[in-house]
């Protein structure tokens, strides 16, 4: 049986659905710049860094900009986004998350966040979830974006656990690729057709408890 000592969670799409707030803020920026940014366009931004997200958005709008303008727009978008997430409450934690985290910790499994977001600390604080994690590795602590494994490898290091004894929970293809490159067991959250490289795929954390989690590891 695979020996697992730690679990690393992506934030957006696994613990909480912040993608809808990213979308509201990016759409507002697109409106300001005079073009429409659809939900389909927004799919391209999942798991992508803020700077890269802005580049994709400008590509959609056919806009070229100076470095200074880009920095200003990224800053404005982030201010709107922070305005939205500051209003989030504990009812926005995705189903089953708090119970599962408690169960893992009660069974001696260490827990960490591995997220691209530079707002992870604020989000976890708003949701009252900070105390459920032994380490928070986010966009302020790493430089390479997923599919580079840096964020997960750094999280494993912070938990003092070999990557082979870590499980990653991820909802994005690039995140699954990052986990596999880092030598970790990857549990996809979402759809099997898009997360084909994951070791197993589940619909959401609500589908598992500690016992079911252990059984998934031997698949």
Q: Which residues bind ligand B16 (CB under 6 A)?
A: 10-13, 22, 45-50, 53, 78, 115-119, 139
Q: Choose between 9 and 100: whose C-beta lies nearer to ligand B16.
A: 9
Closest CB 163 distance from ligand B16, rounded Å: 18
Closest CB 2 distance from Mg ion, rounded Å: 24
> What residues from 154 to 183 belong to the interface with Mg ion (CB under 5 A)?
171-172
The first and second tokens of residue 16, run together, are: 């909480």
The number of angstroms, rounded, from the C-alpha of 94 to the middle of its chain's C-alpha atoms is: 13
The number of angstroms, rounded, from the C-alpha of 87 to the middle of its chain's C-alpha atoms is: 19
Closest CB 168 distance from ligand B16, rounded Å: 11
Q: Is 127 exposed, middle or buried (0-12, 13-18, 19+ CB in 10 A)?
A: buried
CA contacts within 13 A on the Cβ side of 217: 20
Select the binding partner of residue 204 from ligand B16, Mg ion, none (C-beta < 5 to 8 A, by kind): none
The number of angstroms, rounded, from the C-alpha of 184 to the middle of its chain's C-alpha atoms is: 16
**Could you confirm whether 10 is annotated as catalytic?**
yes
**Could you confirm whether 12 is annotated as catalytic?**
yes
Measure the CA–CA gap between 64 and 194, rounded to whole angstroms: 31
Select the binding partner of residue 50 from ligand B16, Mg ion, none (C-beta < 5 to 8 A, by kind): ligand B16
Measure the CA–CA gap between 219 and 97, rounded to whole angstroms: 22
Q: Choose between 119 and 161: whose C-beta lies nearer to ligand B16.
A: 119
| Residue from 7, 13, 163, 182 binding Mg ion (CB under 5 A) | 13
Closest CB 19 distance from ligand B16, rounded Å: 6
Query: For residue 26, which of 54, 65, 46 has the smallest C-alpha distance?
Result: 54
* 190 lies in the binding site for Mg ion (CB under 5 A): no
Measure the CA–CA gap between 109 and 54, rounded to whole angstroms: 37
- Chain positions contacting Mg ion, by CB under 5 A: 10, 12-13, 171-172
List active site positions.
10, 12
């Amino acid at each position: 049986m695979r020996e697992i000592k730690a679990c690393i969670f992506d934030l957006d799409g696994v613990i909480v659905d912040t993608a809808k707030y990213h979308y509201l803020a990016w759409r507002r920026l697109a409106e300001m710049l005079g073009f429409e940014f659809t939900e389909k366009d927004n799919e391209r931004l999942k798991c992508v860094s803020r700077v890269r997200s802005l580049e994709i958005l400008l590509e959609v709008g056919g806009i070229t900009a100076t470095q200074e303008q880009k920095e200003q727009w990224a800053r404005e978008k982030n201010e709107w986004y922070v305005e939205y997430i500051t209003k989030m409450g504990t009812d926005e934690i995705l189903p089953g998350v708090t119970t599962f985290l408690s169960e893992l910790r009660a069974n001696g499994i260490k827990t960490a966040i591995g997220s691209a977001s530079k707002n992870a600390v604020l989000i976890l604080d708003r949701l009252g979830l900070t105390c459920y994690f032994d380490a928070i590795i986010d966009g302020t602590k790493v430089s390479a974006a997923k599919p580079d494994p840096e964020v997960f490898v750094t999280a494993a290091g912070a938990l003092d656990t070999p990557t082979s004894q870590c499980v990653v929970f991820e909802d994005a293809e690039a995140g699954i690729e990052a986990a596999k490159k880092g030598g970790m067991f990857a549990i996809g959250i979402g759809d099997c057709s898009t997360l084909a490289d994951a070791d197993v795929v589940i619909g959401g954390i609500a589908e598992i408890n500690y016992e079911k989690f252990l059984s998934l590891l031997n698949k």
